[in-house]
Amino acid sequence: MESEGTSVLLDHIHQPEDLKRLTVEQLEQLAAETRHFLVEKLSVTGGHLAPNLGVVELTIAMHYLFDSPKDKFIFDVGHQSYVHKILTGRKDKFDTLRKYKGLCGFVKRSESEHDVWEAGHSSTSLSAAMGMAVARDLKGEKNRIVAMIGDGALTGGMALEALNHIGHEKRKLMVILNDNEMSIAPNVGALSHYLARIRSDRHYVKAKEEFEHLIKKIPAIGGTLAKTAERVKDSFKYLVVPGVWFEELGLTYLGPVDGHNLPLLLETMKQADKVNGPVLVHVITTKGKGYSPAEADSHTWHGISPYKIESGQVLKTVGPPMYTEVFGSTLIELAKQDERIVAITPAMPGGSGLLGFAKEFPGRMFDVGIAEQHAATFSAGLAEEGLKPVFAVYSTFLQRAYDQVVHDICRANLNVVFAIDRAGFVGPDGETHQGVYDMAYLRSIPNMVLMMPKDENELRHMMKTAFEYNEGPIAYRYPRESGLGVPMDETLQPISIGTWEVLRPGSDAAILAVGPMIPLALEAAEAMSKEGVQVRVINARFIKPMDEAMLLQLAKEDIPILTLEEGAELGGFGSGVLEHYSQHNVYGLRIKIIGVPDYFVEHGSVKEQRKEVGFTAERLVSELQALVPRRRQRA
């Protein structure tokens, strides 16, 4: 750690204006204290440590030079906003970080007037900043718009679209490119700093224009000399200016600048503020700066569980493997049997469990960066040529590729396999990451097959099912949690498409449960049995197509039905059951749908999120009691 002991300065920082009384030397001490605070607090709560350690000086510089909330700070993704939260009056709430009803791990407008843009998905900041800049100008206001975006997020197509528009409009706007993937050689940094100063200085720009005007006045040769000078100038610019691409787009480029050198950073940002138009400040930072375990392995420490500060040992609970781990190991197993299998991820090889696959099959693993749309259509191209692409993606990030799933994959009926991780509630990541919408939007697309396992063993069989299926797109979804600890079959067998299974017999009512809701359904059924009501529990493992034979049999028996899903109640699995009966002209059945209500569920533990929306045995028992006719209940 760069600093130990008490927070001499940090204890007196309650709002951004408190920074402005400090000297630059004191700001450097404040940066060290802030790092110590982050490492200490996140060792208990967990969270995004490495990204925030990397932007300490950068965030301090922004608040020191500018005036939030009048000046708008827009953080791309928002997981690197912890320092911003500390400096804007939320330091004392960090013990509640990412906990239920506590401090959000992302920017959140309801928390503070200093939070002006919410985002859990990347590459949105520049478009939002452009909208705010235009609104400012139309209203005749003079505030600054500052957007911080990472080098990874810049690969997102939306960010590139926004850069194109920003350069075209020429409005005053500052983009800070937080680049934590490259280093600066001292001579390159010094040269770039010199060029940044002279190229942003209005006197230099005016002198250059006057010089070119004088050359053109020379009789006979002035025009030729001017053209030659222009070519020489451009050649020199292409040789020494690393940001020429941004300049060609219409942004003034400053940098690269060391993001941990506060005096240099402050000077560069002051120069950037003088530019009357869009300017991009290229800042080089180190993820995990100041805490050696995070610096050595910024990937692991990007989002971390609680840990021991001294050793960096992550505190993990012992238990069954995560569904993600089961997916990763099973994919390797199947890929050894079928060389057509390839894996695609949009910048989440670790989170999606693909690091082992990448090591085993480096030529068959494709990390396309933060580009979900490209990943989907890239998968379509692979499938078109006879390969077996597995698009491994978080449920929340698949939303970003909806058009490509519809237009490029399902419409063409291409045999792409979707491995949808983080399906259902995601706990501390909260409302921007909840995987509760994919069932509703995927089941509405023609040609799609969608399934979810009751346990980790069934996930393995579903993966086998997907690879033997050749008739179009197929998806299996699985939660962000550990498996149930069930025995794992060595031999994998495909499951007949569109078939469900009865897990518990019963003739008084039926629960059609999906995935992680099955243990809850079994618990409720057991409670009802003590009242003399026998509830049939069905593993509705195929969301699409549904088991029509079983649904029609339930209707024939006139059994009350309760559907249970950890997905959006509107348009989800339960809606599909109603649609089925409507299509078959079956009326008069007693059906109750239980799913995620029509609002965004905030961060907390998965257990707390499920309790909030009513996923409890007590609620299921109450609903079943209301469904089952009295004659079927014990008097």
Q: Which residues are catalytic?
A: 287, 372, 400
User: Which tokens hold the place of 32?
Assistant: 């060290």
Distance CA 587, CA 576 (A): 15
The Cα 399–Cα 396 span in angstroms is: 6
Cβ neighbours for 490, distance < 8 A, ≥ 6 positions apart: none
Q: C-alpha angle 105/107/112, rounded to 5°?
A: 115
CB 77 within 8 A of CB 150: yes
- CB-side neighbour CA atoms (13 Å) of 576: 28
Task: Print burial letters for 70-82: b (CB count within 10 Å at least 16), e (below 16).
Answer: ebbbbbbbbbbbb
How far is 306 from 393, CA to CA, in rounded Å?
25
- CA separation for the pair 606, 98 (Å, rounded): 12
Dist CA 314 CA 334 (whole Å): 31
User: How far apart, in whole angstroms, are the C-alpha atoms of residue 421 and residue 413?
Assistant: 22
340 alpha-carbon distance from chain centroid: 29
d(CA 603, CA 100): 6
Determine phi and psi for 74, rounding to 5 degrees.
-120, 115
Give the closest residue to 75 by CA, choosing from 106, 100, 49, 48: 106
Structure tokens belonging to residue 514? 């999906």
> Cis peptide before 242, with omega less than 30 degrees from 0?
no
In this structure, what are the phi and psi dihedrals at residue 157, rounded to the nearest 5 degrees? -55, -35
Tokens of residue 153, six digits: 């997020």
3-state secondary structure 373-426: HHHHHHHHHHHHCCCEEEEEEEHHHHHHHHHHHHHHHHCCCCCCEEEEECCECC
Three-state SS at 512 = strand
Q: Is the dihedral of CA 77, 81, 85, 88 positive or negative?
A: negative
**Alpha-carbon distance 373 to 123, whole Å?**
13
The C-alpha atoms of residue 1 and residue 39 are separated, in whole angstroms, by: 9
Amino acid making up residue 488 = M
Q: Which residues pair with 132 in a beta bridge?
A: none
Tokens of 406: 């519809």
